[in-house]
Amino acid sequence: MCLVVPAKLFVLLIVFEVCNGYNFNLEDIFGFVGGLKFNPAEYLKVNKRDIFFNLHTPNYPYPREIDEDNLDLVENDKPVKILLHGWVGNENVRTYQNITREYMKKGNYNIIHVDWRNVAVLPYAVASVCSKDVAKVISSFLLNLNEKKRIPMHQFHLIGISLGAHVAGLAGKQIKEKLNTQIGRITALDPAGPLFEFPPAKESEKLTKYDAKVVDVIHTDGGIVGALKPLGTIDFYPDGGIRPQEGCPLIPVEKDVGDSFFCGHYKAVEYFIRSINSKEFVGVQCKSWLKFKLGHCKGNKDNIMGENLIPERQGSFYLH
C-alpha cells in the first residue's frame, strides 16, 4: 500500500505518536520519503480473540464479558448501545464509564463496551488500516445477536469515538452487505481525520452516511485531528466544528501539550455525554459557519445535537 503523504499529515502523525508516548520510527512507518508504505499484517493479524465485549445492564451494573456462548445475558427487548473507543483507548477509559452512567439514569439499555485495545495500541497508521478487520469482528458479533437473540438491526446504536467512528461505519457496511439491511444508528464523535479525510480514503474504507439508517456526527476538531467535511445524514458543528472549542486553547499549552492538543477533539465526547439526559444543544441548519455567524440562517430548521436528535431533520447544523 502506498500513499502520498502531505507535509501537514506527516507532522500530524508525528504529533499523534509523540503525544501518546510512542517512539516514532520512520523506517517502520514511512518506507520512503513522500510515501506511506507498510504491511499491517506484519504487526498484527486481527481475530476475534483480540476484541472483547463487556455488557452493562440494570441487572449487571458491573461489566460482564460476553461472547457467543452467553448471549442470553443480553435483553432482547431493550435497545443496544455499543461503545467504540478510539486510538490508544481501552474499555477502562472514563468516557465509557460516563456514557454508561448517563444511559443508566435515562432508562433500561444494554450497554456493550467494545475493547479493541490490542489493535488500538499500535502506531496510528497501522491501527487505521487494521480498523476494517476490527469491524469484521464487531459485525460478526452483532449478526450473532441478531440471529440468536432475535434483536432487530434497528435496535443497534453504535457510538464511535475518533478512529472508533470509522470502525463503526465499517461494521455497518459489512452488515448491510450481508443482510441488505442497515443498523439503526451510528453516532460518530469527531471521527478521525488523518488517513481518512486527508488524504481522502475511499468510501468503502471510512464512515459514510449510508452505513446506518441514521448517521449523526459531532465535529469538534475538524481539519486537525478530526474530519471537517460532512460524513453523516446529520452533521453538527459546535463552534464551527473547529478549534478552539469552548474551554480549549488554540495553541497547545507547553506544560500539558498532550491533553491541550486533543482538548477540542474530545469535546465531541463531552457534548454527547451531556446530551444523553438533556436537550441543551440545538443547532441551526446552515450552509457554512460563516453564514451562521453572520445571521443568514435565522428561521432555518433546527435539530437537537446528541442522543435526542430528530432523525428526520437531516443536513448540517451549526451552534455556538
Please report, for the domain that includes residue 81, its CATH number: 3.40.50.1820
Kindly state whether residue 200 falls inside one of the protein's structural domains: yes
Say how far apart CA 200 and CA 207 lie, in whole Å. 12
Percent of the chain with pLDDT over 70: 84
Express each pLDDT in 112-140 by its tens digit: 999 999 999 999 999 999 999 999 999 99
Burial of residue 21 (CB within 10 Å: 0-12, 13-18, 19+) is exposed
Higher pLDDT, 58 or 209: 209
157 catalytic per annotation: no
Residues with Cβ within 8 Å of 180's Cβ and at least 6 positions away in sequence, in order, are none
265 catalytic per annotation: yes
Kindly state whether residue 49 falls inside one of the protein's structural domains: yes
Say how far apart CA 114 and CA 136 lie, in whole Å. 13
190 catalytic per annotation: yes
Contact yes or no for 146/180 (Cβ under 8 A): no
Q: Given a cut of 50, is residue 19 above it in pLDDT? A: no
Strand partners, 282: 304
Express each pLDDT in 176-219 by its tens digit: 999 999 999 999 999 999 999 999 999 999 999 999 999 999 99
Percent of the chain with pLDDT over 90: 76
* Res. 260 pLDDT band, cuts 50 70 90: confident
**pLDDT on residue 257:** 63
* Res. 256 pLDDT band, cuts 50 70 90: low
Kindly state whether residue 22 falls inside one of the protein's structural domains: no
Kindly state whether residue 25 falls inside one of the protein's structural domains: no
Find the mean pLDDT for residues 287-314. Answer: 98
CA-based nearest residue to 225, from 201, 202, 191:
191
* Res. 35 pLDDT band, cuts 50 70 90: very low
Say how far apart CA 314 and CA 232 lie, in whole Å. 9
Give this prediction's pTM.
0.87
CA-based nearest residue to 219, from 197, 199, 252:
197
**pLDDT on residue 4:** 34
Place of cell 523506517: 27
Query: 13-22, 146-155, 161-170, 223-232 — which is least confidently predicted?
Result: 13-22
Q: Given a cut of 60, is residue 38 above it in pLDDT? A: no
How many domains does the chain divide into? 1
Express each pLDDT in 281-294 by its tens digit: 999 999 999 999 99
**pLDDT on residue 255:** 58
Active-site residue (options: 115, 190, 211, 221): 190
Kindly state whether residue 28 falls inside one of the protein's structural domains: no
Find the mean pLDDT for residues 78-89. Answer: 95
Active-site residue (options: 85, 166, 219, 265): 265
For residue 70, what are the domain limits?
43-280
Which three cell numbers, joined as nine digits, stand for 71? 448471549
Kindly state whether residue 21 falls inside one of the protein's structural domains: no
Express each pLDDT in 64-82 by its tens digit: 999 999 999 999 999 999 9
Express each pLDDT in 150-182 by its tens digit: 999 999 999 999 999 999 999 999 999 999 999
**Pairing between β-strand 212-218 and β-strand 282-285 as defined by DSSP bridges:** unpaired
Kindly state whether residue 134 falls inside one of the protein's structural domains: yes
CA-based nearest residue to 225, from 237, 240, 243:
243
Active-site residue (options: 162, 219, 275, 316): 162
Kindly state whether residue 68 falls inside one of the protein's structural domains: yes
Say how far apart CA 317 and CA 284 lie, in whole Å. 5
